[in-house]
């Protein structure tokens, strides 16, 4: 009588193992991380190191207690480093250090470990931590600084609360919201902001301001295929189309679509967050639906809510729909 060997899925494997995927993601994030390091000095480097340490230590401690084993190898795999880096990238560059710790703890424990650990989480852990501190520390999360000099002029080891040469400013999206709220009007096209926004010399979150750096990193993700190209394509296309429609009929009260794309976290979210292979759909049709939902919700939140940004909320909302999307977009098996 023949014997059958039963194995758990997945039965088909890609060319990358997990450590290779983490290495590629780290390489893709490097341009934006290096830009934030150059722009804000060693203080932001300390924030990265602190957040990575908290994420790694939290995951190692939780796994060791839960399984009653010393999972030192999980600590050394640095799987939490990607989550930690994304947390810092999505936060204002000048924050009290304990806020980074709170975001890292929430991302690691609530966003990841309570769902079963790496690969089983339903929601993007970094966005979960970011939204939590946005609600809990709104005053800090709405304060941004624009350095008027770079790391070499600010001093290499400046890790004070505010860089030596910095000016507190509102982001482009926040300034537009405030202008319209007091009865003012906006320029039809803000062409003077396009180049600074593309290069990254504007106030904003540490890793989202330089669209150029994000596009370089996003190209690495798409070329290596560790992220589905359909998601950012559908997200950005939907965002551009809807933003253009709303702007066309409300010129003077809504930012032009180019400024909206270059400002805020839509590029970071579309290329890096929405393409998270754990929390995004498995199938092609589902990925397109997921991307369309992220782009559409971001436009609606930006225009009709009190929040100037919406990509984080939209990704979390679409994360909750991924099981349903996968269920109804799963390809029919041959003969089924």
- Residue 219 within a domain: yes
Asked if 292 contacts 235 with a C-beta cutoff of 8 angstroms, the reply is yes
Residues 117 and 198 in one domain: no
The CA distance from 326 to 312, in Å, is 21
Residues 125 and 179 in one domain: no
The mean pLDDT value for 57-72 works out to: 76
Residues 186 and 323 in one domain: yes
- Residue 75 within a domain: yes
- Residue 188 within a domain: yes
pLDDT digit string (tens) for 70-88?
A: 666 555 555 678 899 999 9
* Closest to 28 measured CA to CA, from 318, 317, 223: 223
DSSP code, position 333: P
Residues 27 and 122 in one domain: yes
Asked if 92 contacts 206 with a C-beta cutoff of 8 angstroms, the reply is yes
The mean pLDDT value for 281-289 works out to: 95
The lowest-confidence range among 51-65, 287-301, 316-330 is: 51-65
Task: Answer whether residue 239 shows pLDDT above 50.
Answer: yes
Residues 211 and 300 in one domain: yes
Q: Can you spell out the DSSP letters for 267-309?
A: HHIIIIITT-TTTS-SSHHHHHHHHHHHHHHHHHHHHHSS-S-
Residues 175 and 296 in one domain: yes
pLDDT digit string (tens) for 294-305?
A: 999 999 999 998
- Residue 275 within a domain: yes
The residue that leads in pLDDT, 175 or 325, is: 325
Overall domain count for the chain: 2
- Residue 11 within a domain: no
pLDDT digit string (tens) for 305-315?
A: 888 899 999 99
Of 140, 160, 194, which residue is a domain's last?
140
Q: Can you spell out the DSSP letters for 61-119?
A: HHHHHHHTS--HHHHHHTTHHHHHHHHHHHS-SS--HHHHHHHHHHHHHTTTGGGTSTT
Residues 197 and 312 in one domain: yes
Residues 323 and 182 in one domain: yes
pLDDT digit string (tens) for 43-58?
A: 888 899 999 989 988 8
- Residue 9 within a domain: no
pLDDT digit string (tens) for 84-133?
A: 999 999 999 888 899 999 999 999 999 988 888 777 889 999 999 999 99
The mean pLDDT value for 53-70 works out to: 81
Asked if 233 contacts 48 with a C-beta cutoff of 8 angstroms, the reply is no
Residues 188 and 270 in one domain: yes
Residues 99 and 178 in one domain: no
Residues 82 and 185 in one domain: no
Confidence of residue 275 (pLDDT cuts 50, 70, 90): very high
Could you list the residue range(s) of the whole structural domain that residue 126 is in?
Answer: 18-140
Residues 127 and 176 in one domain: no
- Residue 277 within a domain: yes
- Residue 67 within a domain: yes
Confidence of residue 156 (pLDDT cuts 50, 70, 90): very low
């Amino acid at each position: 009588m023949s014997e059958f060997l039963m194995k758990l899925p997945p039965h088909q494997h890609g060319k990358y193992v997990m450590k290779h995927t983490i290495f590629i993601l780290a390489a893709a994030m490097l341009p934006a991380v290096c830009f934030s390091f150059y722009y804000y000095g060693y203080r932001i480097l300390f924030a990265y190191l602190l957040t990575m340490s908290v994420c790694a230590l939290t995951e190692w401690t939780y796994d060791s207690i839960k399984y009653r084993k010393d999972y030192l190898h999980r600590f050394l795999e640095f799987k939490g480093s990607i989550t930690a880096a994304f947390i810092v990238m999505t936060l204002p560059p000048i924050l009290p250090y304990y806020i980074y710790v709170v975001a890292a703890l929430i991302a690691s424990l609530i966003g990841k470990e309570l769902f079963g650990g790496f690969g089983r989480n339903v929601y993007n852990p970094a966005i979960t931590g970011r939204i939590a501190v946005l609600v809990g520390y709104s005053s800090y999360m709405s304060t941004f600084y624009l350095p008027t000099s770079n790391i070499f002029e600010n001093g290499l080891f400046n890790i004070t609360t505010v860089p030596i040469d910095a000016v507190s400013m509102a982001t482009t999206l926040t300034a537009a919201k405030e202008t319209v709220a007091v009865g003012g009007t906006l320029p039809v096209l803000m062409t003077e902001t396009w180049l600074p926004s593309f290069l990254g010399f504007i106030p904003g979150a540490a890793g989202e301001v330089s669209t150029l750096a994000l596009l370089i990193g996003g190209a690495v993700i798409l070329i290596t295929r560790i992220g589905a190209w359909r998601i950012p394509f559908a997200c950005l296309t939907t965002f551009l189309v809807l933003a253009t429609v709303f702007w066309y009929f409300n010129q003077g009260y809504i930012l032009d679509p180019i400024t909206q794309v270059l400002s805020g976290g839509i590029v970071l979210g579309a290329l890096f967050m929405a393409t998270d292979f754990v929390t995004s759909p498995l199938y092609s049709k589902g990925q397109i639906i997921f991307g369309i939902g992220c782009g559409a919700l971001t436009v609606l939140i930006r225009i009709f809510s009190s929040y100037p940004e919406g990509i984080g909320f939209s990704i979390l909302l679409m994360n909750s729909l991924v099981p349903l999307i996968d269920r109804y977009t799963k390809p029919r098996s041959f003969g089924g």
